[in-house]
A and B are shown apart, each in its own frame.
Chain A
Amino acid sequence: MTKYFHTGLMFEPRAFWDVKRVEATTEQQTVLFDTREAFMNGSRYPIEITEFSLAPINYLAAADLAGTGRASGQAVFNAAEAVLAVRQRQNYSRFPIRLPGYSSTPSQEPGMAYYVPQVNNLKNASGLLGISHKRFDRSLVLPQYGSVEIQLSTYIGAAPAMATVAPPTFSVAWFEAGGLLEGSSRILTQRPLRDAASPESALYGQVIPFNGEIPSLLSTNATFPPEHLFTTKQFRAQSPTVQGAQRFTGVTVQIDQIDYDAIFSGGGAPPVDAPMTPLSLRTGCRIRTTDGGTKMDWWRPGAPIGLVLNTISAALTYRLPRPITLEPGDQMEVELTVPPNAGSEEQPDTYSIGVALNGYAVIQG
């Protein structure tokens, strides 16, 4: 453990992210992720970027009903080209990088599509475990009574009309090193995941596809409802009986959407004959240390869970051969060239893409 201290440096995970709605056209187009300062290091500390994650955000299903696969937004990643650059200073490639030309990091959880064919009602389930896990590149060290807070947002697109099922639930685990069994965890178990009462209070707007009114299962107007917070008090209450600083090695958010998937796949209206999208690509999160550490948000609040907790997640993740360091004030430019995508009946006008640059802040003093 001493090796984590003798440098005098501390590390906290960080991510820069953005979600863009793109107009579906028959022409190839270049999309600049230009939300103001989304990719700027506005902190006092250098940030090392180690991974690049992409995912279709806020889709109900992972493919369209006609089975073409286009409407999910997933298809664009088969043909997309990316540009990563620091404006007027550093381009990381001479031409846009063709994403299919690079091997992504194995980061998916097992899918259900090819489970026993006799059990066809499971083939459209969103996944086996429903988790988004982040293993920290560098451990997060907190003082003995330090704490960290995680909060989830709502999602939109609750259920087809007349569905009467329990809402999805979420759980959280912080993985901690040390102790008699080499580790332990601080856990928040199974809380209902609330949905947004209206598109105005939803982080990423209306879910795609949108088929008229979508009744809620358990709704709220708050974007980050207090019930979705793993509080400092709950976190500290699980402090192990060990002296000194604590070293955290990862965090997991698990969303149980078994019943939620079933209402769309099991004959509800409108049924979706396609794999459901994990709610981790429709729900945002915010994390910050509250005692110890920088006490800054690890990323702009609202990052899709799957984009930033990306060691195991539904997002597509590329690990950079070497980290890119963003000094305070540096800004990355992220562009994606996407192929023609004319839209379809279910997804008439737009599709939606999320991008994140993941890494960690290097903190001195």
Chain B
Amino acid sequence: MKLRTISAARYRVLVDTNIEDRIRQDQIESFGRLMAGFAHDMKNHLGIIRESNGLMGDILGMGALGEDARLVERLEKSIASIERRVAVSANILHHLSGLAHRPDTPCSSFQVNDLIEEEYAFLERFSRLKQVAVEWELGKGLPALYNDPALLQHIIYRIYSQCLGVMESGHILTLITAQDGTNTLIAFRFPRTSRVEDNTFGNDILLAAITKIGGSLERVENKDDTIDIRLVLSSLVEEDTE
């Protein structure tokens, strides 16, 4: 079923670019720059941690602890553990930099799978806390989208959060991307729950954002007792979708 759409008049009210909107846009750009600076600084700190840890490993490798195999093993484990955490943190910061720089270019060409993977570095935490497992079915060879990537990430975050809100611990959320004719599909599949109501995904602001990027939102009840929330985007989106 196609979820409720909003009237053009209502849409105009919502997207009216008055001074408040511009202030908010400025604020988002400032947050982006602050986040980018933070990520940059954190990478420098991680660089020092990794080099210091590596130096300890080098010295250990030179036999600095003599023949005490147990002590050597314990230190090697600690060094490996630090290295693993540095790698995880570096990956998160790499994605944070990407995310922070998104508002720099309001419209650009991008791969939808890259965009979702970048954002998932942060979304993962929310599903982990909810004890929801996330699976992937990302389509291969999808055409690049020309759209507003920062706004799309915002929409994905909102839908993802709402999905988690109706899911239960132990459920699986499947993220799907696919091409359907000239449209690109981003679907969120999860088991049917009693918490899903007709207006669960019908928030005006979310729908206005989806309208702005030329998309639509659909809810599909599958035969296997799962629900798909499908974000459908035209692969060729005009900048002004009104």
Do A and B pair up? The answer is no
Give residues in A with beta carbon < 8 Å to B.
Answer: none
Chain B residues within 8 Å of A, Cβ to Cβ: none
